[in-house]
Structures are given as C-alpha cells and as structure tokens.
Structure 1
C-alpha cells in the first residue's frame, strides 16, 4: 500500500494538484527540504501549512511536464519508500527548460504520507530564480 500512496503523491506533485497532494498527507505530516534554495522553507508541517505554501508556490516559478527515469525503492521497513527521478518542465516567466534531479524519502503510515523528505538539488532552482532578475 505504501508504494501506491507514493505513486499517487508523485502524480499529484507532477500535475501540481494541490488538493490531491494535501489529501495524501497525514493531518500532522510534514514535508521538508534538507537541501533547499535560499528563502525556501526547510519544513512545512500539517495539511494547512502545506496547502498554503503549495497554493502560493504552484506554478509560480516552474511547471513540470514529466518525471523521467523514475525508480521506486521499497525498503525493509514497509512504511519507507525511496524514489529517484528527473523532473522536466519549464520556468514559468521565460519558458526556458527546467531540469531537476530528485531523491525523495517517504514514510507512509495508515495510508497517508507522514514524512516527505525531498532531497532536491537546489542549484537549478537558484539558476531559474537568478534568470528572472
């Protein structure tokens, strides 16, 4: 069941479907970025905080067209799933191509994502932001 929840979470993120994404989160779950670009939060906790951030951030800087090279790793802990993928899209303001490599670690408890650690490379986002100045 954990894998299916994570696959739905990835689909919601790619589609920038904030409602579906937030519904998959546990009520007190959290989303964090250990390696984040400047001015980005390190952690969002709870559905409402996550919703507020995603509604502001969704399509503000980049949009995603597809996730490529998706590899899902199931672990010896049935609640933990690790996913590797390449996110491809474009910078909203310029239409320039955008590519991001991601490793994400999920903990799924009772059918909801309790922890989502998104290990993004911050450099592509920093470059996209700098191109708008």
Structure 2
C-alpha cells in the first residue's frame, strides 16, 4: 500500500455543530445503523434552503444507545452543541459521506490571552501604586 492510499483510508474531520436529534434503524435483513442530524446557520449559498442547513452524519447503531443513556442520566439534553469525529468516505455520485467515530459534548478550548489588558482595579491594602 502506498503512502497516498494509507492517507486516503484515514481521512477524518471534526464537526462541531448543534445536534438536533439522533436516530437509529434496524431492518429485518440485519442492516442497522443510525444518523446524527446537525444544524448550522444558513450560509446563503443555496437559495433553495430557508432556515438552518441540516447535515446528516452516519452513526454506528451502538452509538445510539450510548447517547440515549447519557440523555436519560441527564448528562446530555438534545438539541445540544457537540463535537463529532468523523471518517470521510466516498459515497454515491462521488460525494463525501461522513461517518461518526466518536461524539461528545462540545467544550470550547480556553486559549490564554496573549494580550492581557491592564487591570482597572484600584490597589488594595497591601498593594502599592506603581512609582513614576
């Protein structure tokens, strides 16, 4: 296998968005899976969409039960902002298909301020004013 093939087999992306709902299906023939329905504000690029844009991400069947348990315990409450790690696969009509590998509550990273602002507070009892 060439390096290019190895990289293509591992293409991944992270989606951060408002998960509106998760669904599952199970068909008699043994086919089962689920979907994560994510919305984002309308970009205006498609004049045929009014309101939020909706993205469907494939999900393993087992992930539904994990999310259901977290909702029943009160840890999650849908809709909610989530971070979804996805594999990118080739689907029909040469379109990308996103398949969830993991999902978790989105927690924004706090980046230290590289430009701290001077404090507006007045010196306390044991603090002195800067000398001129």
Per the normalisation by structure 2, the TM-score is: 0.28
Higher relative contact order (CA 8 A, sep 6+): 1
More strand by percentage: 1
Per the normalisation by structure 1, the TM-score is: 0.28
Larger radius of gyration between Structure 1 and Structure 2: 2
More helix by percentage: 1
